[in-house]
A and B are shown apart, each in its own frame.
Chain A
């Protein structure tokens, strides 16, 4: 009976690992394998590096040239840096806007919290694509925003926002803000207000109370939320494609180009692999904080 119980437990623990292996490790290994092959004009458009030669002999010919190309052509490093920059600025903007919102909701009276949270979640009820596309109508030269601003006489000439980096940031912040607010709210709402009273009682002014108590204690939520923004924004394709101008080069767009326009599957796979490595670092940071938070809440 005990043994059965232990086996059952082992099974339950194995499920997430199985999931990870099946939907993350395995596809990644596929991509890694393709990234080491050569492109060719055929179906599929790459030459496998493990090949059967007539008499049962197997040849292995690994092509590292693809990775070399990633370094050689400044385009890819530029795209990576530019994506990092966009992701970092977007995350920062989300934090600056999202933190006060999450804080306000967490501090709101009980009966207001659920409706306020609903307002945050509500946009998810429409398709992501439609929501981003709607911004085109708002931001374009004779769009709603410019009409409004010109109507009330703030500006004479329409603002060029659409197809600029500003439009990308607007789109990203709008789309990803809830991912920051929700985990942050979850930690803030658990924060015992008595701790702030204790800090005040010990001579701590309101702003310092926030800095030395609220902020450090909300770190796990803040970091989880930031990762939920940062990681997908790194690979974001739709928003820069729909709202951004040509000047914003992002790795997601480059992936699309290499895969679709160039049919260069090895390069696209190599790019994806590199992106994953770049992203795994912040992910590990998040894991670290999560485990620490779990320890503290014991």
Chain B
């Protein structure tokens, strides 16, 4: 569940990649993953070890991946969608193939809590192997926000982006929401203290009204732009992914620009998401895909990835190998108290999802 910027070159990629040969030789593996979502040497090491030639393409949004998978014959052997609602839908649409668990000897390394949490969308864990997980919360410029709202105002709350009185004060400094109807509507319902599994027309309207109320004070809706803007001090409060906001924090620290960014999981509840590894039904080389999944399940392979991308992996054996600084960062590996507040997304039906997207478009444009 990551960035969506410059979506256009992905459109072009959509066209070109469909022509990938369906009869790839056994020694070739086509991977399609999020951009910046793997360590720099992970793929090279796999190639050296297995002798398999890897073609590694990247995308910036679940939608782009989804469009390609639904069009069919994507030519990819391994993809990394977000579990809910995407992989859930894809399983229902039967576009994945069940895993051959005999080939996944390292499966036991997976955190059983995370693994079983997927069972409701993937009964018997037939298709999905968890990769990374994170939360969606609020990133903010500590000094500026405290200067505007006062020292006593609690900042771990959705009020920072949804309470019109507060957002109006922060508007000049810059407040952004993600350009993602599901994320925003679920957060808005959490802010209202209402059931976040409800995607009925009324529920969508209630959430939409929350956004409409703060619309004049929102600088933009974007799912990645805030990384730069927070880090540069151009923006004060952003609704965004944990790892992205922590990346902004680190960039600001590196730049020594006196911008101090923090990440908060709102007390009203925040979405926890898991990205998974999965093999499309029409994968030309499922064998190699299994090999790669098993390789990624090794603690010594996945730990450096976490170090590099600032997202927690789903591998309980790997935690000890992760840099101490990252392992102890509550934004990446939240404490139990925080974990209790996390919300697992329910997948809306197709109809509900469309209604949500259209409502979202309407809200954003103020129509």
Instruction: Determine direct contact between A and B, CB below 8 Å.
Output: yes
Interface residues of A (CB under 8 A from B): 39, 41-45, 73-75, 78, 82, 129, 133, 140-142, 163, 237-238, 241-242, 245-249, 253-254, 256-264
Does B256 sit within 8 A of A, measured CB to CB? Answer: no
Task: Kindly identify, within residues 82 to 108 of chain B, every residue whose CB is under 8 Å from any CB belonging to chain A.
Answer: 89, 92-95
Given A74-B367, A163-B219, A129 and B6 touching (CB < 8 A)? yes
A257 CB contacts on chain B under 8 angstroms:
357, 361
A82 to chain B, nearest CB (A): 8
Contacts of A260 in B (CB 8 A): 61, 63-64, 66-67
**18 A-B pairs (CB sep. < 8 Å):** A41-B92, A43-B95, A74-B367, A78-B365, A82-B365, A129-B8, A133-B6, A142-B232, A241-B8, A246-B220, A246-B221, A259-B67, A260-B63, A261-B63, A262-B357, A262-B358, A263-B66, A263-B67
Minimum CB–CB distance from A65 to chain B (whole Å) comes to 12
Residues on B with beta carbons closer than 8 Å to the beta carbon of A247: 364-366
Task: Pick from B8, B174, B232, B366 the residue with the most CB of A within 10 Å.
Answer: B8
Contact of A43 among B93, B221, B232, B367 (CB under 8 A): B93
The listed residue with most B CB atoms (<10 A of its CB), out of A247, A254, A263, is A263
Give Cα A142–Cα B89 distance, bound, in whole angstroms: 42
Complex contact A75–B361 (CB within 8 A)? yes
Binds A, one of B68-76, B238-246, B322-330: B68-76
- Residues of B near A264 (CB, < 8 A) are 354
- What residues on B are CB-neighbors of A259 within 8 Å? 67
B114 at the interface (CB under 8 A from A): no
Give Cα distance in the complex from A43 to B280, angstroms.
11
Q: Closest Cβ of chain A: how far from B284's Cβ, in Å?
A: 16
Q: Contacts A41-B350, A163-B220, A238-B8; is A142 near B234 (CB within 8 Å)?
A: yes
Docked complex Cα distance between A242 and B72 (Å): 29
B230 smallest CB distance to A (angstroms)? 13
Complex contacts, A246 vs chain B, CB 8 Å: 179, 215, 218, 220-221, 364-366
Among B95, B174, B354: residue with most chain A CB under 10 A: B354
Q: Assess whether B362 is interfacial by the CB under 8 Å rule.
A: yes
Interface string of B192-227 (1 = CB under 8 A from A): 000000000000000000000001001111000000
Chain B, residue nearest A244 (CB) = B220
Tell me the B168-210 residues at the A interface (CB within 8 Å). 174, 179, 181
Chain A residues within an 8 Å CB radius of B174? 141
5 smallest beta-carbon distances between A and B, as pairs? A246-B364, A260-B63, A249-B365, A45-B70, A41-B93
Of A41, A74, A241, A245, the contact of B7 (CB 8 Å cutoff): A241
Chain B residues lying within 8 Å of A249, measured Cβ to Cβ, are: 361, 364-365, 367
**Chain B: interface secondary structure?**
helix
B151 close to chain A: CB less than 8 A: no
A-chain residues with CB within 8 Å of residue B215 when the two chains form the complex: 246
B344: chain A residues within 8 A (beta carbon): none
- Contact between B93 and A42, CB atoms less than 8 A apart: yes
A44 pairs with B364, CB closer than 8 A: no
Alpha-carbon distance between A247 and B365 when the two chains are bound, in angstroms: 4
CA distance A234 to B275 in the complex (A): 36
With the chains together, A264 CA to B356 CA distance in Å?
13
Contacts of B221 in A (CB 8 A): 246
Specify which chain A residues have a CB less than 8 angstroms from the CB of B89 in the assembled complex: 41
Q: Provide the bound-state CA to CA distance between A256 and B89, in Å.
A: 19
| Cβ A45 vs Cβ B93 within 8 A | yes
Chain A residues whose CB sits within 8 angstroms of the CB of B234 once the complex forms: 140-142
Complex CA gap A141/B365 in Å reads 21
Point out the residues of chain B lying under 8 angstroms from A163, CB to CB.
219-220
Q: Please report the C-alpha to C-alpha distance between residue A241 and residue B10 in the assembled complex, in whole angstroms.
A: 14
A149 to chain B, nearest CB (A): 17
Q: How many whole Å from B110's CB to the nearest CB in chain A?
A: 28
Within the assembled complex, what's the spacing in Å between the Cα atoms of A290 and B281?
A: 52
Known contacts A260-B64, A263-B67; is-contact A129 B9 (Cβ 8 Å): yes
Bound: A264/B95 CA distance, A? 17
Which residue of chain B has its CB nearest to the CB of A264?
A: B354
* CB atoms of B367 and A78 under 8 A apart: yes
- A245–B174 Cα distance when bound, in Å, is 13
Q: How far is the CB of A268 from chain B (nearest CB, A)?
A: 10
B353 within 8 A of A: yes
Q: Do A73 and B358 form a contact, CB below 8 Å, given A42-B94, A263-B67?
A: yes
A203–B354 Cα distance when bound, in Å, is 65
Q: Which residues of A contact B63 (CB under 8 A)?
A: 260-261
Contact A75 B232 (CB under 8 A): no
Q: How far is the CB of A179 from chain B (nearest CB, A)?
A: 19
Contact check, B70 vs A248: say whether CB atoms are below 8 A apart.
Answer: no
B92 / chain A contacts, CB cutoff of 8 Å: 41
Q: Find the A residue at minimum CB distance from B63.
A: A260
The answer on a CB contact under 8 Å between A75 and B6 is: no
B362 — which chain A residues lie within 8 A by C-beta? 75
Instruction: Give the docked Cα–Cα distance between A256 and B174 (Å).
Output: 27
Q: Report the Cα distance A67→B39, complex, angstroms.
A: 47
Apart from A41-B93, A246-B218, list 16 A-B contacts with CB within 8 A: A43-B72, A43-B95, A44-B72, A75-B367, A129-B9, A142-B234, A163-B220, A242-B6, A246-B215, A246-B366, A247-B365, A253-B361, A260-B63, A261-B181, A261-B357, A262-B358
